[in-house]
Amino acid sequence: MSSLDQNVISLDELRGTSKKIDFNANNSEPRNWGPLESEMRQVISKLKGCAYNDDFDWSIYDKIAARFGDEQPNGGVVFRTTFKLANYHPTCSKCHYALEVDTYGRGCVHNCVYCYAKDQLTKRGYWNRPTPFPIDLAEIRSAFYTIFETDRPHKWRNILATKVPLRIGAMSDSFMWMDQRYGVTKEFMKILSHYKYPAVIFTRSDLAAHDDYMKVMDPSLFSIQYSIAGNNEELTKKIEPGAPSVARRLKAIKKLSENGYLTAIRLNPLFPIYPDGYYTNSESIVKRFSGREVPKFDLFNFDFISELAEYKPHTVLAGFVRLSTSAINSLTKASGIDFKDFFTPEVMAGSGDKNFSDAEIAYYYREIGKRCMRNGLRFSTCYIGNGLKDYYQYQKMWSNKSDCCDIVGNLDSFKSTSQSISWVERERHAAYKNLVAGSKLAESEFDKLQSKVIETDNKKQSEIFL
């Protein structure tokens, strides 16, 4: 038996003695390793001559497992999905930041009632069953070591070697406050900083502005974007019950901006104030709500834009909400406002996700864009989930026509985006390869249409797109 084997205890032994085992956080001191730590340390031991200094407490994975004893959660306590490339899919083929890493998976403690990830994972029985679980950091370490310190093959080499920026926070928030206990996100930030790897962070958590995290996050590498749907704290608490308050998020943005980070506020999802057609088709509103009061969802108001300037974000990004039927029901229950009334009867009668009309969305974007300009803020829109047409038809409103997240050209480490990834690579990493051909064709057709639009005047643009 090797010396490594002598330090390993089985999962059955761990379950039987979990309350007695002393998991010493000091990795340099001899102690028993649990099965998960042993597994990960074996991976790390193969990284010969690695330049990255390993001082991570690998015992955290076994500590989590010990909490559940014999009742281990479905899928175990390690989130095994590491890198994911999403821009093979028709809903996000044009996304500039589709190379994703979530440091926690299978749930999110913010538990936003409208969340598309919650909707999908709940159906599969994975959402918060019973809690989000941390990513396999050993696999992350191995990938970066292999790609940047050796010439050995790796399935992600063609993409990572060119330092296509990562998106951190897609199906879960990587900066949930539980990370103060586990330190997985913090360790990942240290790894990225060590290898000078750029990333854009999507979060609702003020943990990203905590001093301990800023200490390991190089401002030249990270753009940090905060999702804030509106300034109504009471309603925000109802529909984002586990997320930090709006005030805490705004304070975090200001702190990060003042410390040199490129920040953005994402009005995403942007919820309507009134039902579809209120600003652009008043006759339909009169017809639908004749004899009763027009409902109002008082989460966001246009005056909020002028308030945002105080917190010094670089950019404001708006992305209009789209909702599944189950998300509409959850939103209605949480808010006490029947959200079905906000969509037209025709849309509610149809299948699939529910979207607002192009004309109404354009009204919101134009109004927000104008107010951003008055307050010295840059503006952009996010199309993900709303179809390729939304990428093209609102592009003329962007402050940065080459990057809807407004990072390229503003942060030197962002030399490219996911748009530089070939379709060959996208298909190679696609979770559903049958969607690739259709996505590629749809993008090609929209590209041709866009070329025609560029040759026309603004009036013709509106006729084609809106």
Q: Are 298 and 235 in contact (CB under 8 A)?
A: yes
> Are 33 and 82 in the same domain?
no
CATH number of residue 310's parent domain: 3.80.30.30
- Show the tokens assigned to 26: 């000091």
Confidence at residue 387, expressed as pLDDT on a 0 to 100 scale: 78
Residue 166: strand pairing partners: 199
- Across the range 104-118, mean pLDDT stands at 95
- Using the Cα atoms of residue 110, residue 112, residue 77 and residue 80 in order, give the sign of their dihedral: negative
Check residue 1 and give its pLDDT: 36
What confidence tier does 456 reach under pLDDT thresholds 50, 70, 90?
A: low
Q: Which residues contact 201 (CB under 8 A, 6 or more apart)?
A: 168, 169, 174, 175, 208, 222, 223, 224, 225
Residues 285-328 pLDDT 10s: 999 999 899 999 999 999 999 999 999 999 999 999 999 999 99
Q: Please state whether beta strands 378-381 and 199-203 pair in parallel, antiparallel, or not at all (unpaired).
A: unpaired
**How far apart (Å, rounded) are the C-alpha atoms in residues 121 and 106?**
7
Average pLDDT over residues 11-40: 58
> Is 326 in the same domain as 265?
yes
**Token duo for residue 326:** 């189950």
What is the mean pLDDT of the segment spanning 377-389? Answer: 89
Which of 39, 72, 105 is at the close of a domain?
Answer: 72
In this structure, the answer to whether residues 67 and 86 fall within a common structural domain is: no
Q: What does pTM read for this prediction? A: 0.89
CB 85 within 8 A of CB 159: yes
Cβ contacts of 459-463, under 8 Å, gap ≥ 24: 461/396
On whether the CB atoms of residues 50 and 145 are closer than 8 A, the answer is yes
Q: What is the DSSP letter of 165?
A: P
Scan for tokens 């866009």, then name that residue.
450
* 229 and 363, same domain (yes or no): yes
Q: Cα–Cα distances in Å, from 464 out to 282, 300, 361, 397, 446?
A: 23, 30, 16, 16, 12
Task: Say if residue 148 is in the same domain as residue 297.
Answer: yes
What is the rounded average pLDDT for all residues in the chain? Answer: 90
63 in the same domain as 87: no
Q: Does one domain contain both 93 and 157?
A: yes
**Residue that terminates a domain, selected from 40, 72, 104:** 72
End-to-end CA distance of the chain: 71
| pLDDT of the residue at 388 | 86
- 132 with 10, same domain? no
- Residue with the bigger pLDDT between 384 and 155: it is 155
Identify the bridge partners of residue 99 per DSSP, sorted by sequence position: 85
Q: Predicted confidence band at 385 (pLDDT cuts at 50, 70, 90)?
A: confident
Claim to verify: residue 49 and residue 79 sit in the same structural domain: no
Q: How many domains does the structure of the chain reveal?
A: 2
Q: Number of helices (H) and strands (E) in the chain: give both, helices first.
A: 21, 10
Residue 287 CB coordination number (10 Å): 10
Question: Which three-class secondary structure state does DSSP give residue 135?
Answer: strand
pLDDT for res 4:
35
| Helical axes 35-45 vs 137-149, angle rounded to 10° | 0
Residues 6+ apart with CB under 8 A from 19: 66
Facing residues of 199 across strands?
166, 222
**46's tokens:** 């193969």
Query: Are 465 and 453 within 8 A, CB to CB?
Result: yes
- Same domain for 418 and 355: yes
The residue among 49, 72, 95 that closes a domain is 72
| 125 and 19 in a common domain | no
Residue 303: burial class (beta carbons within 10 Å; 0-12, 13-18, 19+)? exposed
Q: pLDDT confidence of 446, banded at 50, 70, 90?
A: confident
Burial class of 292 by CB neighbour count within 10 A (0 to 12, 13 to 18, 19+)? exposed
Which residues constitute the domain of residue 26? Answer: 1-72
The predicted-structure confidence for 225-262, as pLDDT tens digits, reads as follows: 999 999 999 999 999 999 999 999 999 999 999 999 99
Say yes or no: 229 and 187 in one domain: yes
Share of the chain above pLDDT 90, in %: 81
Q: Six-digit token pair at 169?
A: 């926070």
The CA distance from 384 to 367, in Å, is: 20
The structure tokens listed for 307 are: 């308030």
**Rounded-to-5 percentages of helix, strand, coil across the chain:** 45, 10, 45
* Residue 419: closest CA among 397, 434, 404, 437: 404
